[in-house]
Amino acid sequence: MTPTVRTRVAIVGAGPAGLLLSHLLDAVGIPSVVIDQRSRDEIESTIRAGILEQGTVELLDTLGDASRVRTVGNRHDGIELRFAGEGHRIDFPSLVGRAVWLYPQHEVLKDLIAARLAAGQDLRFGVTAESVQDAETDRPRVIARDADGQPFEIEAEFVVGSDGSRSVARAAVTGSSTGGYFREYPFAWFGILCEAPPSSDELIYSNSPDGFALISQRSASVQRMYFQCDPETDTAAYSEAQLWDELQKRVPGTTLKEGPIFQRDVLRFRSFVAHELLRGRVALVGDAAHTVPPTGAKGMNLAIADVRLLADALGALLLDGDARPLETYPERALHRIWKAQHFSWWMTSLLHVAPDATDFDRRRQLGELRSVVESDHGRAYLAEAYTGWPQS
């Protein structure tokens, strides 16, 4: 007999979405089991982007002192768009009355893991989900292997797939591990982490004839920067001096503060939305449900917006026996997901130089950039989307 763990909600994946969901469910008295194939250390040290919308920060505030976003993170009231050698600031508070916070995802994860363990959450690392079964019954199951490779099952009243872009749970919802709307881009980002002071107080999103660059930050002494590259680029192909050259030529007008580069990675650009987000008693949230290119800084925020909707829907289902909010979960989540898909695609196409761009394309793009920054409405559209649409 395979050992069986019983709970109300089984959550596959201990990223921001899965962990926050367990917190919101616990707050209304619904127990859950969260599993993740990675170790705690791996989860807490994987480098990811770090822009949090105001609504995301407010939801993290419900963790109390465990959330350090307001003490360790930094509030950013604007970003700079740079093109044709000039910078244009987009001021969020004056345009839309909101701001964003720079607080890297692994810091959010450290806060969430500590808070969940302190609350007694059943949270298991090193546990691999092999499949999700019986979605269309009222006892769906996760077939898993524990950290020692021993098989076991989790039987629940509901299963949530928050297991990222290579989701195992997705197959139980869409019928295949890939089923979705998909787009790939002909470029990627070469990302670096370096030991240096910040080169700018705010993020710079720069369009230049040599391609795009983003100057971001991590702390007073560590900086994160990216430049547009070919998706097949080998991270070892550049010397440190060449990396600084590539970055520097894409941000004319700013002298970058250089320092030792201690991490390099290539981020591929993809847009993806699963064909379905719900089947019976299995739902998808976060990257299991959708992927966006990083230019709009939407990934984690979108995951957390899904979770907010799903937590309410599961509360109605499991506490009041009301299935209606769950039935409308896909439609309500997709409303925001497709807006964010559009924004992420738009920021990407607005700022990058496509490998096959003609002179016409290049001049048209500058025309588009000017129509955004020279219009209160254009800047407000960008600010509204970047800081996050209010939760519906």
Long-range contacts of 172-177 (CB under 8 A, 24+ apart): 172/131, 172/132, 172/133, 172/135, 172/140, 172/279, 172/282, 173/135, 173/274, 173/276, 173/277, 173/278, 173/279, 173/282, 173/283, 173/284, 174/274, 174/275, 174/276, 174/279
Catalytic residue among 103, 185, 205, 238: 205
- Within 112-171, the residues that bind ligand PHB by CB under 6 A are none
Looking at the Cβ atoms of 140 and 191, the one nearer to ligand PHB is 191
Looking at the Cβ atoms of 51 and 289, the one nearer to ligand PHB is 51
Site track for ligand PHB across 266-305, x = CB under 6 A: ----------------------------xx-x--------
- Binding-site residue total for ligand PHB (CB under 6 A)? 10
Return the closest-CA partner of residue 133 out of 168, 179, 163, 162.
168
Looking at the Cβ atoms of 11 and 297, the one nearer to ligand PHB is 297
Q: Is 294 a catalytic residue?
A: yes
CA distance 337 to 340: 5
CA distance 46 to 59: 22
Residue with tokens 């409303």: 335
Looking at the Cβ atoms of 7 and 344, the one nearer to ligand PHB is 344
Looking at the Cβ atoms of 21 and 100, the one nearer to ligand PHB is 100
**Residue 341 near ligand PHB by CB under 6 A:** no
Catalytic residue among 16, 104, 140, 294: 294
Q: Is 290 a catalytic residue?
A: no
Q: Are β-strands 278-279 and 282-284 bridged in parallel, bridged antiparallel, or unpaired?
A: antiparallel
Q: How far is the CB of 330 from ligand PHB (least distance, A)?
A: 27
10 neighbors 154 (Cβ within 8 angstroms)? yes
- H helices present in the chain, as ranges: 16-27, 40-45, 54-60, 92-96, 105-118, 170-174, 240-250, 299-320, 324-327, 329-351, 359-373, 376-387
CA distance 275 to 118: 37
**Residue 51 near ligand PHB by CB under 6 A:** yes
**Residue 247 near ligand PHB by CB under 6 A:** no
Q: How far is the CB of 391 from ligand PHB (least distance, A)?
A: 21
- Within 184-203, the residues that bind ligand PHB by CB under 6 A are 203
Residues 76, 116, 224, 379: which binds ligand PHB (CB under 6 A)?
224
**Residue 50 near ligand PHB by CB under 6 A:** yes
Q: Is 88 a catalytic residue?
A: no
CA distance 143 to 197: 48
CA distances from 117 to 19, 84, 256, 338 (A): 10, 50, 41, 34
**Residue 388 near ligand PHB by CB under 6 A:** no
Q: How far is the CB of 266 from ligand PHB (least distance, A)?
A: 14
Catalytic residue among 16, 140, 185, 298: 298
Q: Is 381 a catalytic residue?
A: no
Looking at the Cβ atoms of 193 and 380, the one nearer to ligand PHB is 193
49 neighbors 105 (Cβ within 8 angstroms)? yes
Residue 365's contacts (CB-CB under 8 Å, 6 or more residues apart) are 207, 350, 353, 357
Residues 7, 37, 167, 216: which binds ligand PHB (CB under 6 A)?
216
Residues 10, 12, 25, 49: which binds ligand PHB (CB under 6 A)?
49
Return the closest-CA partner of residue 340 out of 276, 295, 283.
295
Q: Is 386 a catalytic residue?
A: yes
Residues that bind ligand PHB (CB under 6 A): 49-51, 203, 214, 216, 224, 294-295, 297
Active site amino acids = 76, 205, 294, 298, 386
